[in-house]
Amino acid sequence: MPEAHVLHRHARDQREALAGQVLSVTSPQGKFDATPFDGHRLLDVQAYGKHLLHSFEEAPDLHVHLGLRGFFLRTEDLGLLPRGGTRMRLVGERAAFSLIAPSRCEALDRDARDALLATLGPDPLRAGATARDGAAQRLAAARGVVGATLLDQSVWAGIGNAWRAELLFLAGIDPSRRIDVEEAALLWDLAVEHLTLGLEAGQVVSDPSAPDERWVYERETCRRCGTPVRSWTLAGRTAWVCPTDQS
Ligand SMILES: [Zn+2]
């Protein structure tokens, strides 16, 4: 599933390419009512955890969640026909974006937008260092083991399975236990640092000296010590843990 760094990259890309322009907005697939947005000026695009919100002049907000399989395609060839199954197409003056297979693509009025944002915890790529204490208390106080609470978007927003595995490895924490507020603060610092690297690189980065490598995620052995990686289902997703480096 696309995690926060991917959504923040989409937000930045679409903001730079389209904001300030009057857009053509269509649904080639016909499963989305584009009429509230078509012909309106795009003001901004922001990511909140795994959610994207497009704000338009004199229109509701547009909410996109990619879910497990959704993705955007970008083209500068504005005459190119969108591929089949395109849920929504945004066309500006120099670039067009096609949205394929999202889990959500919908109009939100102000109340619905506020209600959505109220369900989300702090996002390391939005809140950064200033939110450290509050975010740490929130994670440490959340009910359940850290491997579950880290994926709970109401606790922190934007962490998915790959970041869960790699951040907990970097912190030396086993996901099947609870953590204290100092450990939660360490995890927040690691999340801010590495999600920022991931935003620039366009992928999960847990070792800046080897950005294509992972420590334990989807590995058979730990990249640091060679111990066989233990994996099991935790909070609905596969956890990956080095029994030597994490306790
Ligand atoms: Zn190890």
Q: Which tens digits make up the pLDDT trace of 121-148?
A: 999 999 887 899 999 999 999 999 999 9
240 Cα: distance to centroid of ligand 1 (angstroms): 11
Q: What is the CATH number of domain 4-118?
A: 3.20.190.10
Cα atoms in the 13 Å half-sphere on the side-chain side of 42 = 22
Q: Average per-residue pLDDT in the chain?
A: 97
Give mean pLDDT, residues 211-217: 97
- The reported pLDDT for the residue numbered 202 is 93
Q: What is the CATH topology of the domain spanning 124-241?
A: Helicase, Ruva Protein; domain 3 (1.10.8)
Give mean pLDDT, residues 147-161: 97
Q: CA 178 → CA 80, 144, 150, 214, 241, distances in Å?
A: 52, 7, 11, 24, 15
In the chain, DSSP assigns E strands to: 24-26, 42-48, 51-56, 61-65, 71-75, 86-91, 96-100, 104-108, 230-234, 237-241
Helix (H, G, I), strand (E, B) or coil at 71: strand
228 Cα: distance to centroid of ligand 1 (angstroms): 8
169 Cα: distance to centroid of ligand 1 (angstroms): 8
Residue tagged 């944002």 (tokens): 117
**Which residues, including other chains, have CB under 8 Å from residue 120's CB and lie 6 or more apart?**
48, 49, 51, 153, 154, 157
Could you say which of 12, 104, 219, 237 is catalytic? Answer: 237
Could you say which of 9, 50, 138, 223 is catalytic? Answer: 50
The Cβ of residue 94 has, within 10 Å, a number of other Cβ atoms equal to 10
* 175 touches 187 (CB < 8 A): no
| Domain extents in the chain | 4-118, 124-241
- Let me know if 31 is a catalytic residue: no
Residue 104 pLDDT greater than 80, yes or no: yes
202 Cα: distance to centroid of ligand 1 (angstroms): 26
The pTM assigned to this predicted structure is 0.94
- Let me know if 193 is a catalytic residue: no
- Let me know if 3 is a catalytic residue: yes
pLDDT band at 211 (very low <50, low <70, confident <90, very high): very high
Give mean pLDDT, residues 97-110: 98
At 48, the amino acid letter reads: Y
pLDDT band at 103 (very low <50, low <70, confident <90, very high): very high
- Let me know if 93 is a catalytic residue: no
- The reported pLDDT for the residue numbered 186 is 97
- The reported pLDDT for the residue numbered 129 is 78
pLDDT band at 174 (very low <50, low <70, confident <90, very high): very high
Cα atoms in the 13 Å half-sphere on the side-chain side of 72 = 22
Residue 1 pLDDT greater than 80, yes or no: no
242 Cα: distance to centroid of ligand 1 (angstroms): 5
Helix (H, G, I), strand (E, B) or coil at 139: helix
92 Cα: distance to centroid of ligand 1 (angstroms): 48
